[in-house]
A and B are shown apart, each in its own frame.
Chain A
Amino acid sequence: MWDWSYAWSIVPELIKVVPITLIATFGGFAVACLLGLPIALARRARSRWISWPVTWVAEFIRSTPLLIQLIVLFYALPNYGIVLSPMTAGILGLGIHYSTYLAEVYRGGIESVPKGQWEASRALNLTKAQTWLRVVLPQSVPPTIPVMGNYLIVMFKETPTLSAITLVELLTTAKAIGSHSFRYVEAITLVGVIFLLLSYPSGLLVRRLELHLKRRERSVEAK
């Protein structure tokens, strides 16, 4: 059933759309990183008028499917006069969806800084900016880096969903190739292989980074 020469012949066609998938992934990740920060800060806000609605909206976005959110961005917004290209809608959808996940990562990072650090900063008369930039962030950012790396990989694997809003990425291309020749096996399997080849090594890299950071943290503590 599996035809090697046919499989090799469609590889270039598939490789050609890999950049589209990567643009959507990194674009979405950038949006998610930027949008995650205000969400994390708003959820920590002292005023309930800010933290409560933001918490619920983030919870809503996180527990509803990305596919439906993409459909809303791509098919429902034109009813209000906002027309987005498939790529823009895809990047925005991915970004907004995963910003709620990254907000949790940021929040966890900030909360992992012991209370004594805040108190010490106050005792040392540091300004708010100094406290954040010199004390809190240097401690809360490193542990979040591997987690963010994992989310980047998760987002990469979510990009086939963008085929539903007509973005011509890997899966759409594979389906088109398949329907031409009615040979779905090679095309779809190859897409899986491409995803595995890109995401598995990245996953290993993230794991190594995580171990490295843990070891460094331990050596700092030992000192």
Chain B
Amino acid sequence: MWHLLPPLLDGMKTTLLVTLYSIAVALVLAFAAGFGRLSKSRTVRGVTLVYVEVFRGTSLLVQLFWMYFALPLLLDVRIPAMSAAVLALGLNYGAYGSEVVRSCVLAVPKGQTEAAIALNLTPRQRMRRIILPQAWRMMLPAFGNLQIELLKGTSLVYLITLSDVTFRGMVLRSSNMTETPAIFGWILILFFIVAFALTRLIRFFERRAAVGRG
């Protein structure tokens, strides 16, 4: 049973890499689109709304397939599986994350904005010093959940030929069918460990964000 672990751990590296890159892309997009939805300009609001609804309304796997099979034909370029995976996962969870950003910014009590205006802070200072730190604290638990969903979503990249942990499992399985339960049992345990670690990480950030605030 232990001989299965090294190749699976090797595949886990790809899984973790895809996870980290996608989290970074998703986080940037979540803030960009979240603020886009709150923009004064109708065009910006409209464009971000379409982005959010399209990526939330279609399925992640369909988006992965689209980025990998359709987009290269449309643009007439080769897109490596890794880029397609990060693009699809980032865009998808960025769309979900933008709703978190939007609702948390809106959830900061209005009195805070008013007080900041009364103190003559510029709009930029108001956002950076007053609104965002409070909103950030509210965003963290939801981001934590999305992070776990994203991690689970990375298992799908195997279907666009990336050699992640699932792919390695399938290769191992093809050489010895009787080991199928052990292989996928291991993969489940590996995912659980990573999810657990990510949850701890978010808790750490939550505690840090709570320092000095009621």
Contact = CB atoms under 8 A, between A and B. Distances in A.
Q: How large is the interface on A (under 10, 10 to 19, 20 to 34, 35 or more residues)?
A: 35 or more
B178 interface: yes
Interface of B: 53-54, 57-63, 65-66, 69-70, 73-74, 148, 151-156, 158-159, 166, 169, 173, 177-178, 180-181, 184-185, 187-188, 191-192, 195-196, 199
Contacts of B73: 1, 183-185
B184 A65 contact: no
**Chain B's interface: helix, strand, loop or mixed, by majority?**
helix
Interface string A130-165: 000000000000000000000000000111110110
B188 A191 contact: no
Given A175-B65, A185-B74, A76 B184 contact: yes
B19 to A, nearest CB: 12
Given A68-B187, A79-B181, A175-B65, 17 more contacts: A63-B192, A63-B199, A64-B191, A65-B152, A65-B153, A65-B154, A72-B184, A75-B173, A76-B180, A76-B181, A79-B177, A79-B180, A157-B60, A160-B59, A163-B61, A184-B73, A188-B70
Interface stretch (A28-36, A39-47, A196-204): A196-204
A87 interface: no
Query: What 6 pairs across the A-B complex have the smallest Cβ distances?
Result: A63-B195, A65-B155, A184-B69, A160-B61, A65-B152, A192-B58
Contacts of A203: 57
A96 interface: no
A147 to B, nearest CB: 14
A79 B182 CA distance: 11
A79 B148 CA distance: 30
7 contacts: A62-B148, A65-B156, A66-B155, A79-B180, A188-B70, A192-B58, A192-B63
Contact of B156 (A67, A75, A76, A178): A67
A64 B188 contact: yes
Nearest to A178: B69
Contacts of A64: 152, 188, 191-192, 195
A189 B66 contact: yes
B126 to A, nearest CB: 30
